[in-house]
């Protein structure tokens, strides 16, 4: 075991998989010599060379479109989109091409590929360096969407994603890139892409979170305990396909649900989770489910801490659910 932060753990996963499988290619803006603007790909260019760690022209559509072609050839491209806020020029290639290739070709053309991109706010990045766009990708059939919260999961989930036969969007919560530290095994291991994890067991209220907001949920849980409310916190890890069993099992136990995400509320992923819980466990609910999310506004710069669904907003929602 080694102490690592998220950046180091993801870097470790990339290095390990590139050494193991020469089909794995990293490409993107500034991923080469400088090692990425967050240094996630640091050292890979020196180790694997120009053909496998590629600084590309500044065009997200070009990066993803050519990466899809590489995947069709049989490589395993791991393109980086520098900030998820920049992903939209590649949206057509992701949701209408990459996500549909296996289906539209009757299985003749699968695409094994992972798009890595930092997500989320709280880093003084303003609208164009802070968004958390999972819902826009979950809605389109054919993609898997992953968002780890800690170094152990980040490494294991990335290795699993690269080896997964389907295209994966790998969202990296940049607010905790360096803040989240933990023990990470050396060498190879994977974390199951179909399983959420219970980060804290409790019996009164279920809080569902992922990425950087997991820590806000855990903080709210500690404070709720001081008020006599026993909170269970689920870290989804893989957002889609959702581990519905873990969610339903918890809600059946607690009867109360709070869903947390940074993205705007309306048509956000929380709405889908609440709907699924209502369909599958409605008569186990003791209180109306509550969503604690970003507001339905563009992501603000100066007031970003008021935008984010931090602990101080999760706590009253948990108390409200518990008391209902």
Binding site for another protein (CB under 8 A): 25, 51-52, 56-57, 59, 61-62, 64-75, 77, 89, 92-93, 96-97, 100-110, 141-142, 144, 164-166, 194, 241-242, 244
| 231 Cβ contact list (under 8 Å, min separation 6) | 200, 202, 204, 205, 206, 207, 217, 220, 221, 224, 225, 318
Q: ∠ at Cα 253 (250, 254), nearest 5°?
A: 90
- DSSP letters spanning 123-181: SS--GGGT---HHHHHTSTT-EEE---SHHHHHHHHHHHHHSSS-EEEEEEGGGTTT-E
Q: Which pair of tokens denotes residue 210?
A: 């992922």
- The nearest distance, CB 36 to another protein, in angstroms, is 20
Distance CA 201, CA 249 (A): 12
Q: Which is nearer to another protein, 9 or 68 (CB)?
A: 68
Distance CA 324, CA 318 (A): 10
Whether 132 is catalytic is: no
Q: Which is nearer to another protein, 46 or 306 (CB)?
A: 46
- The nearest distance, CB 80 to another protein, in angstroms, is 15
Q: Give the DSSP letter of residue 300.
A: P
- Catalytically annotated residue among 45, 127, 129, 140: 129
Active site residues: 129
């Amino acid at each position: 075991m080694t102490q690592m932060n998220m950046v180091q753990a993801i870097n470790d996963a990339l290095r390990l998989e590139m050494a193991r499988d020469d089909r794995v290619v990293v490409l993107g803006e500034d991923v080469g010599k400088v090692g990425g603007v967050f240094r996630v790909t640091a050292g890979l260019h020196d180790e694997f060379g120009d053909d496998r760690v590629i600084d590309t022209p500044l065009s997200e559509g070009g990066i993803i479109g050519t990466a899809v072609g590489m995947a069709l050839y049989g490589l395993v491209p791991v393109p980086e989109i520098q900030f998820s806020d920049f992903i939209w020029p590649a949206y057509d290639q992701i949701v209408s091409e990459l996500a549909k290739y296996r289906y539209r070709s009757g299985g003749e053309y699968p695409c094994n590929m992972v798009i890595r991109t930092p997500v989320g706010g709280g880093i003084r990045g303003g609208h164009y360096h802070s968004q958390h766009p999972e819902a826009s990708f979950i809605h389109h059939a054919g993609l898997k969407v992953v968002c780890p919260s800690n170094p152990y999961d980040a490494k294991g989930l990335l290795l699993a994603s690269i080896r997964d036969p389907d295209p994966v969007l790998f969202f990296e919560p940049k607010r905790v890139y360096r803040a989240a530290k933990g023990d990470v095994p050396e060498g190879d291991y994977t974390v199951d892409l179909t399983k959420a994890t219970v980060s804290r067991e409790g019996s009164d209220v279920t809080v569902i979170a992922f990425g950087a907001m997991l820590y806000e949920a855990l903080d709210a849980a500690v404070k709720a305990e001081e008020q006599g409310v026993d909170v269970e916190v689920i870290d989804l890890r893989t957002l889609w396909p959702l581990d519905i069993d873990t969610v339903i099992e918890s809600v059946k136990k607690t009867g109360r649900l709070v869903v947390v995400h940074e993205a705007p509320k309306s048509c956000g992923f929380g709405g889908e989770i609440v709907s699924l819980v209502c369909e599958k466990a409605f008569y186990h609910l003791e209180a109306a489910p509550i969503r604690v999310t970003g507001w339905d506004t563009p992501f603000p710069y100066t007031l970003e801490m008021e935008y984010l669904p931090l602990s101080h907003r999760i706590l009253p929602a948990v108390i409200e659910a518990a008391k209902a």
